[in-house]
Amino acid sequence: MSVRDRRLPLLTAGLLAALTTAACGGAGSGSGSGGASGGGEAADTVAVAATDDACDVASSELAAGTHSFSVTNSGQQVTEFYVYAEGDRVMGEVENIAPGLTRELLVELPAGDYETACKPGMVGDGIRGDLTVTGEAQSLSEDETLAQASTDYQRYVQSQTGALLEQTTAFVDAVKAGDVEGAKALYPVARTYWERIEPVAEVFGDLDPLIDGREGDQAEGEDFTGYHRIEQALWVGGTTEGMTPYADQLLANVQEIVDLANETTLEPLQLANGAKALLDEIATGKITGEEDRYSHTDLWDFAANLEGSEAAVQALRPFLEEADPDLVAEIDERFAATEAELEQYRTEGGWTLHDQLTQEQLQGLSDSITALSESVSQVAAVVADR
């Protein structure tokens, strides 16, 4: 997900508490370690102390393998933590770390040079540090079932990217033609395909915020672009005037992300982390109404994130059925419950607008996502301990 402006609309205290729980996942603490896991051993923990002006990673040199970064936010701002490979390719990320919370990130790192980054306020390039990984370790993808999971998920991505490009092209054409109502109708449809494949799109961190950033996400001097810039013009201004450059840029960036996504195969842990991240997207953006704050089409995105999360879990299913069948049954039950909760708000033309939902209805959606997220958050550890 691109860096976000997290200013939430007014919600009940109970709902805010539930959303925080849903987004936090497994919390804990640990000490830094230079070792690495492999062959079914538990991942070693690397402590990260994040504040508003520092990002202290316990070790800047690690052995190749799977590591658990335990990120504690002692600052006053909500923060994020990233591990970047060359070219700011995202190897792993954990978002929405509220002050006082600790969140875990499991990531598999082969030998190479990396950067870590904390992003207090969730804007800008972050507070960066060098990370060197040396040696050799057995890759999780050497497990045939996990390798097949990555291949299967790549097929899913390819099934979505063509439609993403097609629908975004239609959206852009409507914008450039001055067809406000046509563009409004196409906006949530195009975004559906984007939201389904965000785990792979987010790997390319420089493009994601250009496509999906919202007003307030940008660092000083950066322009507000992408889907949400045009959304603002359509719903707030009721116009497409001045939007042609933004529409052309959006289409070019979507074309680039489609090309890159079709060439990229996520590692098994990236699938597991991505499935959880999509549920966090729902908790922090869709249920709150923050994501599509002008159009209120958040439930289109909610449904797409849910489908994308389930696709990632299903790709891992053969492995999970062998490793932890009870967890699979629990996840199946909770996906079904969340889908049933959401289905109440389906309409002939798509979904009920967010601003038409009551606090009680939002609470029901929040409760279901909280339960589902708790279950899916366990998948990464099962994969790492293979």
**Which of 104, 44, 107 has its CA nearest to residue 72?**
104
Which band of pLDDT confidence, cut at 50, 70 and 90, is reported for residue 42? low
H-run or E-run covering 57: strand 55-57
CB 50 within 8 A of CB 118: yes
Would strands 89-97 and 61-63 be described as parallel, antiparallel, or unpaired? unpaired
In percent, the amount of the chain with pLDDT more than 90 equals 71
pTM for the whole thing?
Answer: 0.82
CATH 2.60.120.10 matches 41-139:
no
Please state the domain extents for the chain: 3-15+145-384, 41-139
Question: Could you tell me the strand order of the sheet in which 102-109 lies?
Answer: 55-57, 44-50, 65-73, 102-109
- Report the SS3 class of residue 21: helix
For 154-182, the pLDDT digits (tens) are 999 989 999 999 999 999 999 999 999 99
CB 65 within 8 A of CB 109: yes
How far is the CA of 207 from the CAs of 132, 212, 226, 243, in angstroms?
Answer: 25, 9, 10, 19
User: Which residue is it, tokens 């691109």?
Assistant: 2
**Which of 349, 350, 214 has its CA nearest to residue 281?**
214
Average pLDDT on 57-61 reads 97
Average pLDDT on 308-335 reads 97
Average pLDDT on 266-295 reads 91
What is the pLDDT, as a whole number, of residue 28? Answer: 36
CB 168 within 8 A of CB 249: no
Phi/psi for 304 (5° steps) reads -70, -45
CB 136 within 8 A of CB 146: no
What is the pLDDT, as a whole number, of residue 202? Answer: 76
**Beta-carbon neighbour count of residue 40 at 10 Å?**
10
Look at domain 3-15+145-384 and name its CATH class: mainly alpha
